[in-house]
Amino acid sequence: MTRIVAGRARGRRLRVPPRGTRPTSDRAREALFSILENAGVVDGCAVLDLFAGSGALGLEAASRGATRVVLVDMARSAIPILRHNRELVGDPTAVIDVVHNRAEKYLATGGENTDRGEKFDLVLIDPPYDYDDGALTRLLNELANGWLHKDAVVVVERGGKSPQPIWPEGWQVRKPRKYGEARLWLADVR
């Protein structure tokens, strides 16, 4: 069972696509958002959730006060679930868009429902654990190409045995956190 851990939608159960997704555990989300909230990142921020799956990460941010959330996933089966979960967690103070697109294509083209000039304060990247390291590096470099506000935070979830992502120059990497099979990497954009 995947649920919203805290905030306005606390305790609401989220639907999860039938296959192909691995939602971030409640424990890992709670720890991650504790770090982010203590740094003043979540409240009032714009969030981009790539490889959204059920939307648990982006919707957790909305529940905790993010005012703009874009949920991007390429799986056709994830889109109705993301829309359902958006309505479940929906809040009149947050604009939450669901985008059916590959993360790479979304960043390269500006995606649908989004102004290419839009910038984000928080980016959550939770690809499949077998996602290619080179593809992740290209994705991070594309993010650095005009998608982020100064002082944004980028979070990458990988399998516990995956190497550290190769971050764009100038980003400050925090110590990774491990939760079960997941490792969370955070970087501050300067």
Q: Which pLDDT tens digit goes with each residue over 114-151?
A: 555 789 999 999 998 889 999 999 999 999 999 999 99
Q: Are residues 185 and 125 in contact, defined by beta-carbon separation less than 8 angstroms?
A: no
Give the model's pLDDT for residue 114.
54
Q: All domains of the chain, ordered by start, with CATH?
A: 2-188 (3.40.50.150)
pTM: 0.93
Q: Which pLDDT tens digit goes with each residue over 86-106?
A: 998 877 788 999 999 999 999
Phi-psi sector, 18: left (phi>0), alpha (psi -120 to 50), beta: alpha
